[in-house]
Structure 1
């Protein structure tokens, strides 16, 4: 099994072999150009980023700067928006549904490191898939950790550290992130979510 196959299978792997390092360097070159384009050059940005990503909807908008490890493990649905400084460590699949809003300075980490220092010193890491449902809003500064699933229609509050799955139709906040309430029909009558 190659290191890439181990990575995608959620097993311990080493990221600095020729294949994986080369693929990360390829992504960095594309992202360097993407992030350096003028604000008005939206079509050029999309033409650069679309082939790097695994899948995109027809309508998406990624504000620069944007960073990722590989790109090809990221799938974004229709009508996607991410604000400034979106970072995705896509060492495993990161699947994002339709109508998702990502606030500024949000990080999604599919990658992690072993708890025992001897494995870390030997440069082992692991990666688990991250899944974000449809109609999700992730507030600025949130961090989503490896293996997390966020259900449809959910709001993740600003600054949250999402370490476990969050169900659909809720507002969840905090470090660690926890559900504070369900989203109900009453929410249609107000613009905030207090």
Structure 2
């Protein structure tokens, strides 16, 4: 009912709902004369609590100043990415990168272990050179510690990876790595680890 308040109302959509639903919501906004802002966020629970999220905003430039105080409370930085919809597309690209890094990390640790190596020593080595992406190193240490308290729950990472795969298919892109990890991630989530951190994919690697 909020959209019935009259033309010019600003609707800020900050969830990760995928390209198809973002397009639908933008259409609903247009039908009601509302200004639609697509602004999902990058960051997990810790940055959210600390107001340190990065807001991936997209939509008409004329409302940026109006929204600046709101976004300033929620995040440490707001990146404007062009027309509404680009925020969601960027979020899917970033979370696809996250999913592939998490899977690569789990497989690397499992590979090292099965070769008889100390996975922790491999992580130390990766951290000491450019190969060790900070996110991957941090997740590797979580995996080895076996503490899967959710910073980013597997069920949410899986949802985002599936949305990325759908967007890729619709656009003609090929996400070979993501398509390969999805079946095992679904099985891992269904086996009782959906609410655990995405690092739980190590358990089935």
TM bin (shorter chain):
under 0.3
Between the two structures, name the one with larger relative contact order (CA 8 Å, sep ≥ 6).
Answer: 2
Higher strand share: 1
TM-score when scaled to structure 2? 0.24
Please identify the structure whose Cα radius of gyration is greater.
2
TM-score when scaled to structure 1? 0.24
Higher helix share: 2
